[in-house]
């Protein structure tokens, strides 16, 4: 049976210290006052613990959490189906909440503020509004694109939390905890090496640990050692700093075609035959994070560190 690596309580949740402390305080305050926990909006890159922390909040409150993808809420009927299933104090977690359409977003305004939902019954001259009372709930939204959420919607969240990248020390601790749960032996040098390939992201770190363990088992080893790690990363096409083939090809294209000159995103997309959205979301963030790429209003260019990176491959 697959071992669950997600933390189930605040003690197990590593990192995001200020966010964690604020939420613990909010929970304690709401319980002492006997009031509903304020709505929250989590934003940050994927894999940094937004979903995990929402689950921990539900555990701490001893309430049920209902997970839904924003893209699945297309019509008012989809939303009312979810809202009427909520019990008093439940958590509603909407992932990628920035992709809600305007009808659903505006329908949530009264639901969040007053715990009511207005339904339109009938059509044209016969139309009338029926107001439904909802049980009090806490909405937790998660997004990777905070800028796409409207100001009126953001203002209805009592707490907006930014999830930052994790330090190597935090990632190493997450590795140790996960390895202990999986009952896998791994030494500190290998833990540190894998952490450098994880792009400061726990989800990537845990996935790499699982793959290293797969190769350990296949190689009939008792411990994840240096040989296991190297073989795993070779087969996963992973390069130093956790870059993939597409990242290296991007850097090579900039170096070979433009040296250190500025180039537009559109030109890059055409040369690589890759959609611009894919470049923006899946390729450039890691390169910017590691200082391999420079980005400005003039376009993009490879950094001197990026050139050194290619020379070291």
Q: Which amino acids are annotated as binding site for ATP, given as ranges?
A: 5, 47, 50-52, 156, 166, 203
131 is a catalytic site residue: no
Give the C-alpha separation, 309 to 252, whole Å.
Answer: 10
Catalytic residue from among 95, 201, 211, 228: 95
95 is catalytic: yes
Angle CA 276–282–285, to nearest 5: 100
Q: Which of 144, 148, 174 is nearest to 162 (CA)?
A: 144
Binding residue numbers for DNA: 295, 300
Identify whether 196 is a catalytic site residue: no
Structure-block tokens of residue 306: 């990026």
Instruction: Select which of 48, 138, 143, 144 is catalytic.
Output: 144
Choice among 63, 138, 201, 203 that is catalytic = 203
Distance (Å, whole) CA 146 – CA 43:
6
Report how far apart the first and last C-alpha atoms of the chain are (Å, whole number): 38
* Dihedral of alpha carbons 252, 258, 263, 268, sign: negative
| Coil/strand/helix, residue 247 | helix
Residue numbers belonging to the annotated binding site: 5, 47, 50-52, 156, 166, 203, 295, 300
The owner of tokens 């994927």 is 46
Please indicate whether residue 50 is annotated as part of the active site.
yes
* Active-site annotation holder among 50, 63, 211, 301: 50
Task: Round the CA-based radius of gyration of the chain to a whole number and report it.
Answer: 23
Residue 51 is a catalytic residue: yes
Sign of the Cα torsion 310, 211, 201, 40 reads positive
Output the six-digit token pair for 205.
Answer: 């770190």
- Rounded Cα–Cα distance for residues 71 and 261 (Å): 39
- CA distances in angstroms from 270 to 89, 116, 148, 257, 276, listed in the order given: 50, 49, 26, 13, 9
Alpha-carbon gap, residue 173 to 183, rounded angstroms = 15
Catalogue the active-site residues.
50-51, 95, 144, 203
């Amino acid at each position: 049976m697959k071992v669950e690596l997600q933390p189930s309580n605040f003690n197990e949740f590593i990192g995001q210290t200020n966010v964690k402390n604020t939420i613990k305080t909010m929970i304690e305050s709401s319980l002492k006052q006997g009031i509903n926990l304020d709505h929250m909006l989590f934003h940050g890159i994927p894999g940094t613990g937004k979903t995990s922390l929402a689950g921990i909040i539900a555990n701490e409150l001893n309430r049920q959490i209902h997970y839904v993808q924003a893209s699945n809420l297309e019509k008012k009927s989809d939303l009312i189906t979810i809202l009427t299933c909520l019990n008093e104090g439940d958590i509603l977690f909407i992932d990628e909440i920035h992709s809600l359409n305007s009808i659903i977003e505006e329908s949530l305004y009264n639901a969040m503020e007053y715990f009511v939902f207005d339904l339109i019954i009938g059509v044209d001259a016969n139309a009338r509004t029926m107001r439904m009372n909802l049980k009090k709930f806490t909405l937790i939204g998660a997004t990777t694109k905070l800028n796409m959420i409207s100001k009126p919607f953001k203002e209805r969240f009592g707490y907006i939390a930014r999830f930052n990248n994790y330090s190597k020390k935090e990632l190493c601790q997450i590795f140790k905890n996960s390895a202990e749960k999986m009952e896998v032996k791994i030494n500190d040098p290998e833990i540190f090496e894998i952490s450098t390939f994880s792009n400061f992201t726990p989800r990537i770190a845990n996935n790499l640990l699982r793959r290293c363990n797969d190769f350990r088992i296949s190689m009939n080893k008792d411990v994840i050692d240096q040989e296991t790690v190297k073989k795993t990363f070779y087969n996963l096409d992973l390069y130093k700093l956790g870059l993939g083939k597409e990242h290296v090809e991007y850097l090579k294209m900039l170096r070979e075609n433009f040296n250190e000159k500025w180039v537009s995103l559109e030109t890059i997309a055409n040369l690589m035959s890759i959609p611009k959205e894919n470049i923006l979301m899946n390729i450039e963030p890691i390169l910017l994070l590691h200082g391999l790429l420079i980005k400005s209003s003039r376009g993009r260019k490879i950094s001197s560190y990026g050139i050194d990176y290619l020379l070291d491959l």
